[in-house]
Amino acid sequence: MNVNQKTTILKSAAILAFFTLLSRLVGLYRDHLLAGKFSIGETLDTYYVAFRLPDLVFNLLILGTLSVAFIPVFTDYFIKDKKEANSIANTILSVTFFGMSVVCLVLYVFVPQITHLMAPGFSGKQFDDTVMLTKIFLLSPIIFTISSVFGSVLNALRRFVLVSLAPIIYNFGIIFGVVYLYPIYGIKGLAYGVILGALLHLCIQMFGALASGFKLKPNLDFKNPGVRKIAKLFVPRILGIDNSQISLLVASIIGTTLMSGTVSGFNLANNIQAVAIGMFGISFATAAFPDLSEHFSREDHQKFGETLSKTVVNILFFLIPISVLLILLRAQIVRVVLGSGNFDWQATKLTANMLGIFAVSVFAQGLSPLFSRAFYARQNTLTPVLVGLFSLGMNVLFSIFLSRTLGAYGIIWGFTISSLLNAFLLYLLLTFKVKDFDSYYIFKSSAKIILASAMLAAVTYISLQVFASHFGNNTVITIFSQGFLAGIAGLAIYFAAAVALDIKEAKSALGVVRRRFLR
C-alpha cells in the first residue's frame, strides 16, 4: 500500500471517528435523559423491546444487506459509466421502498402476536404499551430504507461527513421526544420523537446525495445487469444479520422473563460500549470498504491484502486499550454517563457489571465489520452469512444456558462468547481466501499492543486507587475526576509504550490528531 493510500484511509477513518464520537456522545446524552427519567425498569424495558421488531426488519433487509451489496457494484459502474450507475441506484431505491412498505404493513397487522413471542414475560399494560409503540416504530424502517440508499451513494462517493451527521440528527429527534413530547403525549411522545429523528436522518442524506450529483428518477429497470448483480449479492446476505442485532433480540426475549430492568440495563450498557466500536471498528471498516472494493475490481490483490492487514492493526491499536479501560473504569463510566434522577446505585452496579462483560469482546466486535466487508468487497456474501448463522446459534444457546445460572449477566456472556467466535472464524477464513493477508504483521503488532495495554492496565488501576482515596465517591464530579485522571494516566503510558515499542499505528494516529484536531 502506498503512503498516500494509507493516509487517505486513516484520514477518512479519523473524520468518521470524530463524527461517530459526536453521534455517540449525543446518543449517550439521550440515554442519560432516559435513564434519569425512568431508570431501568418497566417503562424503559417496554421502550427498548418495542424497537426489536422494526430494528430487526430494517437490519435484516437493509442495513446489513443493501450497502454491502450495493456499494461494490455501484462503485464498479460509477468508474465506467456515471449515468448507468445513477439508473441502478434509482431502481434499487424504488424496489427497496416498495418492498419495505409491504413488509411493514403486513407486520403491523400481526404486531400483538409477534409481541407475545418477542416479550413472553410482558403482560397487562406493559404488553399493551409495547404493542402500541411497536406499531408506531414500524414507520421507521420505511423511512430508513429510503435514507440508506442515499447513504450508500454517499459512502460509495466517499462523502462520509453527511452520512456521519445523519445519526446525530436522528438522536436529536429522540431527545426532542423525551424532553418535549413525552410530557404532552406520555409514552407515545417517545415514539413520535423516534419518527421525527428518522425523517431528519432521511432529509440530510437525501439532500447530500442530490447535491453530490445523484439524479432522483425512480424507475424499475430489472433488466439492468448491475441491478441483477446487486440482487444476486443481496439475497444470500439477508440471512447474514449482524450478530449484535440478534443479541438485542435474544436479550429482549430472555430478559423479559428475568428481573425487571434486565432489558434496559443490557441496552444501556451496550450503547456505552458501542461508542468505541463505532468510533474505531465501524469507522475504519467503512473508510476501508470503498478501497477494498476498488482493489478487487482492479484485480490488485496485493493492495487488497495490505489495506486489510493495515486496517486490522489500526482497529486493534485503539480497541484493545479501550477494552481494558472499560473493564477497569466501568463503574465510573456508568455513574457519570447515566447517574442522575431515578438512576440509583443499584441500577449503576447492574449496568456497570454488564459493561465489564461486554468489554471483553469489544475488539472482536470492532474487527467483525471489517472482516465481513472484506468478503463483501470480493462480492462474496455467502461466507459471512454462514459464519454469522453459526455464531447466532452459539449466541442463543449460550445465552439460554448461562442465563439460568447467571441471570441477566448470562445473556451478555452469551453475546460476548459468540462475538469472539464470529471474529475468529471470519479471520481464519480470510487467511485462506486472501493470499496477501499479512498474519505475521498482525500478530507481531498485536503482541506489542497487548504489552502496552498491560502497562496501561497497571498504571490505570494504581492511579484509580490513589485518586479514589483522595476524591471519594460522593458526587458525580469526584467520580468523574478519579476515572478521568486514572484513564489519562493509563493512556499516556500506553502511547509512550507504543512509541517505544515502535508501533507504527501510534505515530500515524498521533500525527492525524496533531494535524486535524490540534491545528
- Over the stretch 234-261, which tens digit does the pLDDT of each residue have? 665 555 555 566 777 888 888 888 888 8
Angle (CA) 272-276-282 rounded to 5° is 120
Could you give the maximum distance between any two Cα atoms of the chain, in Å?
A: 71
In this prediction, residue 105 carries a pLDDT of 96
How much of the chain, in percent, has pLDDT values that exceed 70?
A: 89
Please give the average per-residue pLDDT across 39-54, as a whole number.
90
In this prediction, residue 519 carries a pLDDT of 46
**Residue indicated by cell numbers 460500549:** 273
What number of other Cβ atoms are within 10 A of residue 211's Cβ?
Answer: 11
Tell which wins on pLDDT, 434 or 424.
424
Please give the average per-residue pLDDT across 199-221, as a whole number.
84
Grade residue 513 by pLDDT with cuts at 50, 70 and 90: low
489-496: long-range contacts, CB 8 A cutoff, minimum separation 24: 489/459, 489/460, 489/463, 490/321, 490/324, 490/325, 490/328, 490/456, 490/457, 490/459, 490/460, 490/463, 491/321, 491/325, 491/456, 493/452, 493/455, 493/456, 493/459, 494/321, 494/452, 494/453, 494/455, 494/456
Please give the average per-residue pLDDT across 113-119, as a whole number.
92
Task: Lowest mean pLDDT of 317-321, 325-329, 423-427, 480-484, name the range.
Answer: 480-484
How much of the chain, in percent, has pLDDT values that exceed 90?
A: 37
Q: Is the Cβ–Cβ distance between 49 and 118 less than 8 Å?
A: yes
Range picked from 224-233, 235-244, 417-426 for highest mean pLDDT = 417-426
| pLDDT surpassing 90 at residue 10 | no
Grade residue 3 by pLDDT with cuts at 50, 70 and 90: very low
Range picked from 41-45, 81-85, 225-229 for highest mean pLDDT = 41-45
In this prediction, residue 202 carries a pLDDT of 94
Please give the average per-residue pLDDT across 48-60, as a whole number.
89
Grade residue 305 by pLDDT with cuts at 50, 70 and 90: confident
Please give the average per-residue pLDDT across 268-273, as a whole number.
91
Task: Lowest mean pLDDT of 102-106, 336-340, 509-513, name the range.
Answer: 509-513
Spatial CA neighbour of 188 closest among 148, 145, 139, 141: 139
| pLDDT surpassing 70 at residue 100 | yes
| pLDDT surpassing 70 at residue 503 | yes
Please give the average per-residue pLDDT across 438-453, as a whole number.
90
**73: number of CA atoms within 13 Å, CB side?**
26
In this prediction, residue 517 carries a pLDDT of 46
Rounded Cα distance between 497 and 323, Å, is 17
Rounded Cα distance between 337 and 334, Å, is 5
Phi, psi of 160 (to 5 degrees): -75, -25
Grade residue 426 by pLDDT with cuts at 50, 70 and 90: very high
Task: Identify the helix (H) or strand (E) that includes residue 256.
Answer: none
Range picked from 29-33, 79-83, 131-135, 409-413 for highest mean pLDDT = 131-135
The one-letter amino acid code at 130 reads: T
In this prediction, residue 511 carries a pLDDT of 63
Grade residue 518 by pLDDT with cuts at 50, 70 and 90: very low
Q: Is the Cβ–Cβ distance between 432 and 398 less than 8 Å?
A: no
Please give the average per-residue pLDDT across 132-144, as a whole number.
95
In this prediction, residue 9 carries a pLDDT of 58
Grade residue 493 by pLDDT with cuts at 50, 70 and 90: very high
What tens digit of pLDDT does each residue of 159-177 get?
777 888 898 999 999 999 9
Grade residue 155 by pLDDT with cuts at 50, 70 and 90: confident
Grade residue 323 by pLDDT with cuts at 50, 70 and 90: very high
Q: Would you list the DSSP string of 22-66?
A: HHHHHHHHHHHHHHHHH-SSHHHHHHHHHHHHHHHHHIIIIITTH
